[in-house]
Structure 1
Amino acid sequence: MQTQKYSVNQHPIETLLSWVKSGEIAIPEIQRPFVWKKSKVRDLMDSLYKGYPIGYIISWRNPDVRLKDGSMSDGKKILIDGQQRITALRAAVLDQYIIDKNYKRQKIKIAFNPLEERFEVQSATMAKDREWIPSISRVFDGSVDQFDLVQTYLEKNLDADKEKVKRGITNLIKMPLRQIGIIELAGDLDIEVVTEIFIRINSKGVVLSQADFAMSKIAANETYDGQNLRKAIDYFCHLAVAPEYFPTIYENDTAYRNTEYFKSMTWLKNENDDLYDPSYTDMLRVSFGTEFKRAKLEDLVSLLSGRNFETRTYEQEIAEASFEKLRKGVMNFMNETNFKRFVMIIKSAGFKKPWMIRSQNAINFAYILYLSLKNQNYPPAEIESFVKRWFVMSLLTGRSSGSFESQFDYDIKQIASRNFKEYLEDIEGAELSEGFWDVALPQNLDTSVASSPYWCVFIAAQIYLGDKGFLSKDIRVENMIDHRGDIHHIFPKDFLRRNGLTRGKYNQVANYTYMQSEINIKVGNKEPGQYFNAVLQQIEDREMKYGGISTKEELIENLRANGIPELVMEAGIEEYDLFLKERRHLMTQKIKEYYKSL
């Protein structure tokens, strides 16, 4: 019979808040920015007032760690689920500051009307309205008693129903005595078991991840400066997306701005490149993979807890060394030279826009590879080539998709123990054989999904090889993408639709190309054979209407650069299927040429 892995108890709200204030439950200020709307805080107060359930708080006591003197530490409780609700209670009941989703420090004041028994977010008008108690926190701070509060209210509202006022204020004062359920996971549970429990917990329909668990674990640790490490990860990811919030963080978190972490990320205040905007999960994966040579984030939680995998005990030395390793990994991740150099390498492979990065896992591992090879002192030119080839190979083969952690784990260990050039060549021999180029990739290009990684790699190849847009003499594909050029159909969509083809057929990626809008307007809904006759006529007449191509040789070269078969010049609806088949093979040849040149 399985033993129960948790206990469920009911405690008054005021008891829970006292535990938070005393540190019995570790809820660091920056565990997660407070993302609730103020109206949701109001609704929580209303539910408490009416005695409605507000869900369970779930915590787990850290395993005891053996100290150097042989004694056992007393681990704090880690909050697994319920931080937003507790933060809402602290803000409304205790009048404490919160850090909002924009990292601004503010208060949330909830007003109460005892006559209507109604809560509202305090407004400037409401703060002066006699019928409202402007902030319920004043009721709970001990500065006034119930009798005085009722009397003061009645003196301001002479016509108010005395019994209604008394009942409303009495019920308000009793709110902190309302019970809340607390599920505490057993303190002697293995971290692997706790991790499994953790990732099964749903918070309002959103499954919490192992990265969430790791971030909570980091933030709850005071011995090894976990709160500042957690802030480093949070702030970096936020500034990477929104550098304009740098002054807000600088002004509101004065203590943190003097830390080495903050100094290492100040360069982001002027950084507007959005090719790689990492989340905290991305940052953890890269830092953990680089320094620990592991990929499974559940192992990170174990190591930060001091887990000795051989003895299955928890040791202070392991916890201390793990926090130091993670700190080093985070610092290397944030390093301006490392980050900018890596992004430059990805861009130099032709991936100029975020929409072209079809796998976040692929770019994360590429950064792990970059940092790992740099740590191993590989020559910069070799690192650049290896990172580009690995990244493109990952996109083409789906190496970083699906259940990727085991593959990541294997690759990381191989990178650490083998000559990387030999390892990459082994993978290329297995994954990018002639069968891949002749059969698998053309089949993968048989898709109508414009976000397909294979289409994105084809565009990257065109950028890398400096190809001109379809029927363009001077304008490159790269220029069109930089200036938000559009993808158009070689066989016009209206033409194919009029001939009875469905969306999945006419929107094949093999029918897509980058084309100048003015050329596309000229093409209209004509079949290719018709508008190519006009192109050939302009070459003969020297009247440029379809771009600036002025010779047959330039036209053939343009088709070759865009991976378009020459049969298109005389094609009608009957040739469409053959055109798609031939173009997929030409696109594959383009991608193969590109990959071999990286």
Structure 2
Amino acid sequence: MSELKTCFKRVDYDLSSLLHYIEIGDIGLPDIQRPFVWPNTKVRDLFDSMYKGFPVGYLLFWENANINGAKQIGVGDKAHTVPARLIVDGQQRLTSLFAVFRGKTVLDANYVERRIEIAFRPRDGKFDVADAAIRRDPEWIANISALWTSEQSSRKLVNSFIDALSAKTPLTEDEEEHISHNLDRLFDLQKYPFTALEIASSVDEEQVADIFVRINSEGVTLNQADFILTLLSVFWDKGRADLERFCRASRQPSVQGAGASSFNHFIQPDPDQLLRVSIALGFGRGRLKSVYQILRGKDLETDTYSTEHREKQFKILEEAQAQVLDLTNWHQYLSALVGAGFRSWEMISSKNALLFAYAFYLLGRKRYAVPEHVLQKAIGRWFFATSLTGWYTNSPESAMDADLNRVAVAKTGEEFLGILEEMQTNELTNDFWRITLPSALESSSARAPGLFAFVAAQNRLNAPVLFSHKRVPELLDPTLTTKKKALERHHLFPRAWLERQGEDDRKRINQIANYALLEWPDNISISDDAPSEYVPVVRERFSAEDWQAMCELHALPPEWEGMPYDDFLQQRRVLMADIIRRGYETLR
């Protein structure tokens, strides 16, 4: 019978010891300049609970593999160059405490720098988030960080506070004693006890994730990317910092004259998303599990760890990430999406499709030296296909792994492009265009891939805006900032009119096939009139030739305004699928 062994040990700390171990590098709290997602109110509640002597939960550490020669976490000299323990659960709590006790700033989820200022009222032991009123009130210590960062003794700080308060409000001896006691209690939070469960280094990341989920009341699931980003914090902190800097810049337009940035109108990537692109490019893998083991320094054949193996693999990742974060590569790739008819995030139904297509763009550009003008169309076509079909919707890692394995055999750019084309041909058969796609368009989802592909195809075909002499590409410019959108979705058979005819199924009323993009003044003027009433009026603006071309590019059947609603939906879905196919084929 096998013997089951406990895979963790219990270790007790006081807070001052934890902060000391973080400072010297023994506990691997990632650099304080990392996105911090707790609101200040939650930090306030943490301090309040500790002050009252309530438990604030276990910490979960993971003993680091015994590997020497690694880079340290964060900045500055550390006594221990390799953390002995990595934080699995408790990072937000320890970041909160480290930031407040050491007076450090943090970055929020949008990479905006802020300081956690927690106020304390010694008269009644109340905590709050500092605001303007609190900062003016002598009853409050507006920022308790000053108590531990001022380098003054606790007695001197207590006396200074009491003297300042007494100057505003006379205090009795009992009140002074009570305030002094509460401040001493606040100072003593440095002795607050924590219990950590420290998981052995021999436990693999899947078991650690399972342990985390089982003990975490919020049930937050760790993924492989979380573990790899932790490794970057330990062994290549500059790499993680570069990732986060790139992601931060993508969230705000660059100031005029400041140069190029990663800002774009498609995606504000997170570090783990770009990490996946680097892994795909550098290691040819969609699944992250084996890559995690490799980056820890594990030789998959001998099942042993070595510093040399780890450094070799990190060098591969470093080279791949440099390509991923190269702004020329980034913007050239995004221009391929624009060329394929996709103009902004509002037309992106799958971030996975966007990110994985970037990996294939980089493979084509760097490994296979495909000419840029050829690669632009090929990758635009690939993204069009994978987005339309939901290629990476289910089991995206497995799908990407399979795709990377397929292209890995290519020796030349022609072979690489041929494999991509073959994969699309196998998926986009005649049955797909004639049966599968029209059926998929029987949807009322505002973010259906088929809807976005239809608009992208209209962009590619330079279709006129319905009932307008302007063109669709002109009015889908994401850089325009207006009070109202230039184009609005319009029910061709107005909802109120359909309801008057007895149609009460909202999903049928809001089907994709009942929508078209109109300029907003036209949308308002049409109102709830029947198609048979408003269409003849609108048609008078156009020649017969222009009207026919417009209806064709908007997949509208001849004399559609007089058709029964069911017949209209069925015929238009087929015609929409044909327009999508025509737009896709222009990318050949």
| Cα distance in 2, alignment partners of residues 231 and 522 from structure 1 | 53
Q: Which residue of 2 aligns with 1:178?
A: 192
1:519 and 2:511 correspond: no
| Cα distance in 2, alignment partners of residues 104 and 435 from structure 1 | 50
| Cα distance in 2, alignment partners of residues 569 and 274 from structure 1 | 36
1:451 and 2:447 correspond: yes
Listed as ranges, the matches of 1:75-474 within 5 Å are 76-101=84-109, 103=111, 107-122=115-130, 130-133=138-141, 135-137=143-145, 139-140=147-148, 157=166, 158-161=171-174, 162-197=176-211, 202=216, 204=218, 206-221=220-235, 226-243=236-253, 267-269=259-261, 272-374=263-365, 375-418=367-410, 419-472=415-468, 474=469
Q: Which residue of 1 aligns with 2:75?
A: none
Q: Note the alpha carbon deviations across 1:348-389, whole angstroms, 9 max, x for none.
A: 000012111100000111101100011211232332232122
Q: Which residue of 1 aligns with 2:471?
A: 476
Q: Note the alpha carbon deviations across 1:572-591, whole angstroms, 9 max, x for none.
A: xxx11011001111111111
Q: 2:576 aligns with which of 577, 584, 587?
A: 587
Q: 1:469, 1:475 within 8 Å by CA — same for their partners in 2?
A: yes
What's the offset of the Cα at 1:117? 1.4
| Cα distance in 2, alignment partners of residues 303 and 65 from structure 1 | 13
1:576 and 2:554 correspond: no
What's the offset of the Cα at 1:103? 4.7
What's the offset of the Cα at 1:78? 1.5
Q: Pick which of 126-135 and 455-464 moved more.
A: 126-135
Q: Pick which of 104-113 and 389-398 moved more.
A: 104-113
Go from structure 1 to structure 2 and tell me whether the alpha carbon gap of 1:479 and 1:245 turns closer, same or farther (over 3 Å shift): closer
1:21 and 2:37 correspond: no
| Cα distance in 1, alignment partners of residues 547 and 146 from structure 2 | 79
| Cα distance in 2, alignment partners of residues 194 and 522 from structure 1 | 60
| Cα distance in 1, alignment partners of residues 398 and 578 from structure 2 | 32
Q: Which amino acid aligns with 2:573?
A: R
| Cα distance in 2, alignment partners of residues 150 and 381 from structure 1 | 71
Q: Which amino acid aligns with 2:103?
A: D
Identity of aligned residues (%): 32
Q: Pick which of 7-16 and 45-54 moved more.
A: 7-16
Q: Pick which of 130-139 and 46-55 moved more.
A: 130-139
| Cα distance in 2, alignment partners of residues 25 and 377 from structure 1 | 44
Q: 1:509 aligns with which of 508, 512, 529?
A: 512
| Cα distance in 2, alignment partners of residues 525 and 136 from structure 1 | 61
Q: 1:81, 1:203 within 8 Å by CA — same for their partners in 2?
A: no
Q: 1:65, 1:75 within 8 Å by CA — same for their partners in 2?
A: no
Q: 2:48, 2:126 within 8 Å by CA — same for their partners in 1?
A: yes
What's the offset of the Cα at 1:95? 3.0
Q: 2:32, 2:105 within 8 Å by CA — same for their partners in 1?
A: no
Q: 1:549 aligns with which of 535, 542, 546?
A: 542
Go from structure 1 to structure 2 and tell me whether the alpha carbon gap of 1:470 and 1:152 turns closer, same or farther (over 3 Å shift): closer
Q: Which residue of 2 aligns with 1:7?
A: 9
Q: Pick which of 430-439 and 297-306 moved more.
A: 297-306
RMSD: 2.9
| Cα distance in 2, alignment partners of residues 267 and 430 from structure 1 | 43
Go from structure 1 to structure 2 and tell me whether the alpha carbon gap of 1:315 and 1:201 turns closer, same or farther (over 3 Å shift): farther
Q: 2:110, 2:251 within 8 Å by CA — same for their partners in 1?
A: no
| Cα distance in 2, alignment partners of residues 101 and 533 from structure 1 | 53
Q: 2:286, 2:397 within 8 Å by CA — same for their partners in 1?
A: yes
What's the offset of the Cα at 1:150? 5.4
| Cα distance in 1, alignment partners of residues 31 and 316 from structure 2 | 24
What's the offset of the Cα at 1:124? 6.6
Q: Note the alpha carbon deviations across 1:494-515, whole angstroms, 9 max, x for none.
A: 2112112221111110011112
Q: Which amino acid aligns with 1:230?
A: R
| Cα distance in 1, alignment partners of residues 232 and 193 from structure 2 | 29
Go from structure 1 to structure 2 and tell me whether the alpha carbon gap of 1:523 and 1:210 turns closer, same or farther (over 3 Å shift): same
Go from structure 1 to structure 2 and tell me whether the alpha carbon gap of 1:342 and 1:141 turns closer, same or farther (over 3 Å shift): closer
Q: 1:64, 1:75 within 8 Å by CA — same for their partners in 2?
A: no
Go from structure 1 to structure 2 and tell me whether the alpha carbon gap of 1:245 and 1:300 turns closer, same or farther (over 3 Å shift): farther
What's the offset of the Cα at 1:530? 2.8
What's the offset of the Cα at 1:130? 4.9
Go from structure 1 to structure 2 and tell me whether the alpha carbon gap of 1:199 and 1:278 turns closer, same or farther (over 3 Å shift): farther
| Cα distance in 2, alignment partners of residues 65 and 409 from structure 1 | 29
Q: Which amino acid aligns with 2:172?
A: D
| Structure 1 portions without partners, runs of 5+ | 248-265, 539-547
Q: 2:340, 2:456 within 8 Å by CA — same for their partners in 1?
A: yes
Go from structure 1 to structure 2 and tell me whether the alpha carbon gap of 1:169 and 1:125 turns closer, same or farther (over 3 Å shift): same
Q: Which residue of 1 aligns with 2:74?
A: none
Q: Note the alpha carbon deviations across 1:52-104, whole angstroms, 9 max, x for none.
A: 12122222122123789xxxx97632122222211221232233444455656
| Cα distance in 1, alignment partners of residues 256 and 242 from structure 2 | 13
| Cα distance in 1, alignment partners of residues 309 and 209 from structure 2 | 19
| Cα distance in 2, alignment partners of residues 246 and 439 from structure 1 | 50
Q: Which amino acid aligns with 2:328?
A: T
Q: 1:31, 1:230 within 8 Å by CA — same for their partners in 2?
A: no
Structure-2-length-normalised TM-score? 0.87
Listed as ranges, the matches of 1:13-52 within 5 Å are 13-30=15-32, 32-52=34-54
Q: Which amino acid aligns with 1:558?
A: M
| Cα distance in 2, alignment partners of residues 243 and 480 from structure 1 | 21
| Cα distance in 2, alignment partners of residues 141 and 521 from structure 1 | 62
Structure-1-length-normalised TM-score? 0.85
| Cα distance in 1, alignment partners of residues 500 and 210 from structure 2 | 55
